[in-house]
Amino acid sequence: MVSTSSSASIIPPPRPPRSYSYHVFLSFRGEDTHTGFTSHLYAALNRKGITTYKDDKNLRKGDVISDKLLKSIEESMFAVIVLSPNYASSTWCLGELCKILDCKNNMGQHMVAVFYGVEPCDVRHQIGTFEEAFKKHEQRHESEKANRWREALTNVAACSGWSSKNKDEAALVENIAQHIFEILIPKLPSSMKNLVGIDSRVQQVISLMGLGLNHVRYIGIWGMGGIGKTTIARAVFETIQSRFEVACFLANVREQSEKKDIVHIQKQLLNQMNISSTDVYCDYDGTRIIQNSLRLKRVLLVLDDVNDEEQLENLAGEEDWFGPGSRIIITTRDTHLLEEQGVHETYEVEGLVKSEAFNLFCSKAFKRPEPTEGFLDLSKEVVEYSGGLPLALRVLGSHLFGRSIKVLHSAIEDIKNSSHSKIIDVLKISYDGLRDKEKDIFLDIACFFNGRDKGDVTKILEGCGHDAEIGIDILINKSLVTIDEYDTLRMHDLLEEMGKQIVMQESPNDASRRSRLWCYKDVDSVLTQKKEIEATTRSIVLDNMVLDIEGNYTDSNIRVLAFSNICQLKLLILDHVQTPILCDIPCTLKVLHWRHCPMVTLPFADQHYELVEIDLSYSGIVSLWDGKKFLNKLEHLNLSVSNLKQTPDLSGAPNLKTLHLEECRELNYIHPSLAHHKSLVELNLRECRSLETLEDKLEISSLKKLDLCNCTSLRRLPEFGECMKQLPILTLSRVKLNLPKTIVNLVGLSEVDFGDCEFTGVSLSLALPERPSSLRELQAHRCGSLDASNVNDVISKACCVFAESATQDREDFLQMLIPGKEIPGWFEHQEEDNGVSVSFLHNCPNSTETVALALCFQIKCNTFFDEKPTVICNGKEFINCSLKTFNRKRKSVLPQYLPLFALLPTALGSHNSCQKFLNILQLQIAEPAGYLTFSRSSYITCSLKLKEWIPALPTLVYDDFLQMILEVVH
């Protein structure tokens, strides 16, 4: 775009006109440009959706300009004046020019001048063909009119404009059309006007788009149905579309694909881009034409509500389909689609905050920002119910508009009992797209597990036969479920309500024909109906946490627990329900949870059961069952904090993996079947204070964790069979007992807790299996067997074993904290500081020789803290620890020393390549001011042949003592 000033500018209007019939008015000399330049410009403007007035009806007759033309000029936002050689010869053109200048000055109309085949100076000074034209005008018209025309030409020539001189006409036409488009679009009325909360969200999306970058970029907008994805995408599209050569918003891709096919959508895309779609007969044709037509253009494409990979493959498959700087926005409920497409950025749409939700509801329900007097509490109730979902707020607000407060109360209760169909229909789209197994998991979460820990729910669902991990992941991807920072499953209240409605619609009038029951009234009805009526219920979940006026749990009128007529029951959760079972446990049951169960035993029959998990914690159970029961599939049994006195016969549960009996204070007998179990992985007897003995010998080859913490009556441990070499975790804290000699069989120990222990007749160094190469964590805080006579043996053994075993090609870690005031003397070098330097000879600089370093810091802690002291090696951070310590009992300074066992490649210590034979390690621990005092440091080193490795960041664990973990990754 050029002019006498080499640039063009558009003077902003003082105020916009009230209404427009046209976006652009074309003023041109027909005989010069009607079938050429002006025709091409008209077509280019139309391709961009710009409504343009062009006199195709030959209204220019006579000497007086028609009123219709004058009105068309007034009702246009833009006027384009094509100043061609014979423009001034037409009094009509000169009249249009005067009117355009008048509208520009008085109504703020935009004006664009195009100097087509003429020089701006010819127009300004009326020379050449313009001079000849005015000679004729001055003969035929009054001088005043001719002077007004001259002044108009002078004024328009003074404005910057476009020149056709030495320009490609096609490119000139496109540039002018784009220039008008960029200025016009922001001034057009927007459907996004006055939308609550939209501006900040639009800016967040635009910030992800990288509009200044020249590569193609895909942006995802992801969220649940009704959350506002399409609205945000539309607002972004309207905001930035003027920056692109071509722009297309394809709405409702999912719905169009279902009703028609992908070819129809491809044609729609091409048509919106003003590209012929007549040769598209199949999806391959469409893909080919889209790619070839758009690969050199800067494109803005929005694909709204995509739900299938095939849609993306056929509409925007690859980046090289589009020209540099193109942007493709995809809105979807399924984040997995975005990951598969490889989008550059994803914007997750969240619900409106309460203030935004309140404003949106009021704008629909009361047509004002605030509720009518007397409606405030009701408005807050609806806003709370909507959960910040814009769709729900709009629908409910419109539904309640104009109703009296009495009717409004009734309408709100009706909506709560059965959600508005418009809301449910939108939400249900995502559910309908699930497979049957995923639908089952969704309904279980909606009916039972919203707000429960993800790990717990996963375990329950897997026990019921579901592939829960991948199923929940799919629900998360499809915006049906979220996981909060506490790993809790969260589902929007309206989605939960929709799920419950789906189950209730399975049999609206007969609860026994529904797959899931969670309402006490329905459960009571089903359990008390006639036995000959067979129920098809598969899951019953009750959690009786309702308190009566005296503060006791109520039974919510459950009269009887009899399941003889429920032949398909798989999941039964009766937490806090105080009604006893009056019949046998259903054999089809897979998961049974009954915390606070009132019964002393459960009625198991002599038949095969499908149970995978039983949780009867906090119950009155004394004896779970009598004799041998057939539970071949049972994997998890939890009787913690119960009245259990003896463990059941587990010979009929050969696949049991976890047995939790912690805090069974009355437990005094372990059934012999436990000692030889072949599948048990975890045995937890923590706080079983009445237990005096286990079996004479344990031969559980599968056991990975044995916890006997605080079993204060335990006199001795059983012998450990040779098959228990792989037991990695042993907890014996807070006990006084005799250790069997066969503890040396536990050569696979990696984590040992001897805190607050006293081993009769044996020191701690002897208590450990001889040189346990796998040992990486030793807790011996306040261990009575750890004294000055053997502490060095324990630490040096751990250090040497660590150094030797680290030659294995695996991840290793070692952690240890020793209470005491003095660093052991076997640390070769000590300094009164928080840093230490290590020097040693290195005879083979090109080998894989590695230094094993034992580093120790004496530490005193004055208070509770959560800081990160850092070990620095040659100026580079080597260890970053999170320390937590506090002597809760004595509330005084804790003197203790911290042995760190590490492996350092010798290259880490080299200052430069010239020092081939001498390595210097300067190690320092940075002190968190005001919390720790490092009074002494020390080290020893040895040399080992190892493969290359990388030291990983250590962590420290708090449990009234310190534990240092230093990982070594080979």
Determine how many CB atoms are found less than 10 A away from the CB of residue 146: 19
Mean pLDDT of 721-741: 85
**What pLDDT was estimated at residue 830?**
67
Mean pLDDT of 146-167: 90
With a cut of 90, say whether residue 633 has pLDDT above it. yes
Beta strands in 760-848 (DSSP E): 777-779, 812-816, 818-819, 829-831, 835-841
Q: What percent of the chain has pLDDT over 70?
A: 71
**What pLDDT was estimated at residue 206?**
94
Determine how many CB atoms are found less than 10 A away from the CB of residue 805: 17
**What pLDDT was estimated at residue 789?**
54
pLDDT digit string, tens, across residues 773-826 = 677 677 766 666 655 455 556 665 665 566 555 544 444 445 565 555 666 665
pLDDT band at 769 (very low <50, low <70, confident <90, very high): low
**What pLDDT was estimated at residue 242?**
84
With a cut of 50, say whether residue 904 has pLDDT above it. no
With a cut of 70, say whether residue 318 has pLDDT above it. yes
Determine how many CB atoms are found less than 10 A away from the CB of residue 375: 18
pLDDT digit string, tens, across residues 835-879 = 556 554 444 444 444 555 566 666 554 444 444 445 555 555 544
Beta strands in 440-528 (DSSP E): 482-483, 489-490, 516-517
Based on the residue annotation, tell me whether 96 is a catalytic residue of this protein: yes
**What pLDDT was estimated at residue 826?**
57
Q: What percent of the chain has pLDDT over 90?
A: 34
pLDDT digit string, tens, across residues 918-949 = 344 444 444 444 434 445 555 554 443 332 32
Residue tagged active-site, from 74, 75, 96, 319 = 96
**What pLDDT was estimated at residue 217?**
95
- Which of 149-153, 751-755, 895-899 is the least confident region? 895-899
pLDDT band at 529 (very low <50, low <70, confident <90, very high): confident
Say which residue, 343 or 733, is predicted with more confidence: 343
Residue 787 has, within 13 A of its CA and on its CB side, a CA count of: 7
Mean pLDDT rounded to a whole number for the chain: 77
**What pLDDT was estimated at residue 678?**
92
With a cut of 90, say whether residue 563 has pLDDT above it. no
Say which residue, 749 or 148, is predicted with more confidence: 148
pLDDT digit string, tens, across residues 648-672 = 999 999 999 999 999 999 999 999 9
**What pLDDT was estimated at residue 56?**
67
H-helix or E-strand spanning residue 967: strand 966-969
Total count of residues recorded for the chain? 970
pLDDT band at 464 (very low <50, low <70, confident <90, very high): very high
**What pLDDT was estimated at residue 909?**
36
pTM, two decimals, is 0.68
**What pLDDT was estimated at residue 803?**
57
**What pLDDT was estimated at residue 555?**
46
**What pLDDT was estimated at residue 681?**
95
66 contacts 95 by C-beta, under 8 angstroms? no
Burial of 323 (0-12, 13-18, 19+ CB in 10 A): middle
**What pLDDT was estimated at residue 374?**
77
- What is the C-alpha to C-alpha distance for residues 451 and 474, in angstroms, rounded to an integer? 18
pLDDT digit string, tens, across residues 106-124 = 888 889 999 999 999 999 9
391 contacts 226 by C-beta, under 8 angstroms? yes
**What pLDDT was estimated at residue 842?**
45
The two tokens of residue 702 are 């599968």
Mean pLDDT of 68-74: 88
With a cut of 80, say whether residue 689 has pLDDT above it. yes
Nearest to 638 by CA among 675, 590, 684, 606: 684
